[in-house]
Copies of this chain bind each other. A is one copy, B any other.
Amino acid sequence: MTTDAAYTELSACLRRTHLLDSIGQLLGWDEQVNLPADSADLRAEQLAVLAEIQNAAAANPRTGELLALLEPSDLEADQVAVVRQARRDYDRATRLPPDFVREKAMQASRGYHAWARARAENDFASYAPVLEQNLEIARREAGYLGWAGREYDYMIDLHDPGMSAELIARLFAELKTGLVPLVRQITGSPVRARTDLLRGFPVEGQRAFLREVTARLGFDYRRGRIDVSLHPFCSGTGADIRMTTRFNADEPLDALFSSIHETGHGLYEQGLPRAHHGTALGMNAGMGVHESQSRLWENQVARSRGFWRHFEPRFRALFPAQTGGVSADELYLAINAVVPTLIRVDADEVTYNLHVILRFEIERRLFAGTLAVRDLPAAWTAAAQELLGLTPGSDREGVLQDVHWSGGAFGYFPSYCLGNMMAAQLWYRALALRPDLEADFARGDFTWLLGWLRREVHAAGRRHELPELVRRVTGAAFSPQPLLRYLRERYGPLFPA
């Protein structure tokens, strides 16, 4: 068999796996958006049979044979990237014993219910044994895949290939050093954003506005749609992106900004080379890079003066009664409100990073064995005081607030902050190339920025790991300094001492 023939056959195997994955995503989307109340049992059965088929496809022995044939061959750089990712996925599909996979799935389900009950009853003690088990399972999984002794690195690498606990620790320490005083400055400012000014926005108007905005940003509604679900998300592939949002008449900025966030994810997926969907050449580069795209559109772009110069008149025209008593400055402050909170999901874009740092530091200690599960509540409280200047009134406002660990999703949180850092670094590179970017926005023109991201980030697929991708696009090492600069430049003037 020639190398070319093997590569072609491998690509077909990967495409098949990708299609099965896209079917699973559609079922997941439908579950959140359309599923009738009592049809959940059927959906669970459908997803179970599909998971079995997906696993069989991912673990197809033929893929193993093709990889063994291709790995020692003389391949082009693109082919090397495809084979490397295929190996990664194949090993993950084949090295975990079926019994372990079942045990993990059952434990995730048990863990979720244990967490939900513990959170409702503010009862950490009942949840602690579950967390112990989840940590043990995570360690075993890392061992199966050859990461013994580097278990937390394994969890991080799962979400962000190429990142490690040590690298993140260095980046976050530097970020923290700059961020804590900045938050102190903002919260010490006599200026206060009023977030209670925007009330009574009819859903139909909100829907029309966010649809207009996201289409203008460049989302291709001929290959995607936006619907309503309890929690906003973006799923599907670039050939058919399914985004969701949610509406609250008294929180019009929530639907708008969550839609723009999901649009950032959607633009990235729509920008991945369609002919290569399913291989590393048409695959997103990881969660951190994904988040950099959603955050850049949500924050650097949609919280900018230029953006609102263009959209504010339209917003006021759609909602004349609701915005009549709100000045332009009040509106812009509400859009850029900074209010430290104990709850991560309620955090603004400045303090959100502190929530991530808190979780990363705790996860790292858990995996290093320097923090015991039973000591988590105290460690959380101490970290919240240090980082946020706030003391949880209970574990529900502390260690019990997030669902992630209950299902064994460790190493997941850092991506959010890595995405923020990367977004800011991309932003300043874009500004260096096109200093009047905000003037584009003020004209409602986002094509230059999207075109640049398409070429520099989207077209690259998963060829490069996050730090290398950042270095290639910006010419500089991945760093928290651009994020700190951006936060200072945007929030310093809004909240003076």
Contact = CB atoms under 8 A, between A and B. Distances in A.
Interface of A: 16, 19-20, 22-23, 26-27, 30, 34-39, 41-43, 45-46, 49-50, 53, 220-225, 237, 239-240
Given A26-B30, A36-B222, A38-B223, A49 B16 contact: yes
A308 to B, nearest CB: 29
A38 B240 CA distance: 8
Given A16-B49, A19-B46, 19 more contacts: A19-B49, A20-B49, A22-B46, A23-B49, A26-B26, A26-B27, A30-B30, A35-B240, A36-B221, A36-B223, A36-B225, A38-B220, A38-B222, A38-B223, A39-B223, A39-B224, A42-B240, A43-B240, A53-B53
Contacts of A20: 49
28 contacts: A16-B49, A19-B45, A19-B46, A22-B46, A23-B46, A26-B26, A26-B27, A26-B30, A30-B30, A35-B240, A36-B221, A36-B222, A36-B223, A36-B224, A36-B225, A36-B240, A37-B222, A38-B222, A38-B223, A39-B222, A39-B223, A39-B239, A39-B240, A41-B239, A42-B239, A42-B240, A43-B240, A53-B53
A20 B48 CA distance: 11
A326 B1 CA distance: 78
Nearest to A45: B19
A439 to B, nearest CB: 32
A205 to B, nearest CB: 16
A225 B37 CA distance: 10
A33 to B, nearest CB: 9
Contacts of A38: 220, 222-223
Task: List 5 tightest A-B contacts by C-beta distance, closest first.
Answer: A39-B240, A42-B239, A38-B222, A37-B222, A19-B49
Contacts of A222: 36-39
A276 to B, nearest CB: 14
A260 to B, nearest CB: 19
A325 to B, nearest CB: 31
A115 to B, nearest CB: 27
A20 B30 CA distance: 16
Contacts of A37: 222
A220 to B, nearest CB: 8
A417 to B, nearest CB: 33
A330 to B, nearest CB: 35
B225 A34 contact: yes
A312 to B, nearest CB: 30
A239 B37 CA distance: 10
Given A20-B49, A23-B50, A27-B26, A42 B225 contact: no
Nearest to A238: B42
A49 to B, nearest CB: 5
A286 B220 CA distance: 42
Contacts of A42: 22, 237, 239-240
A48 to B, nearest CB: 8
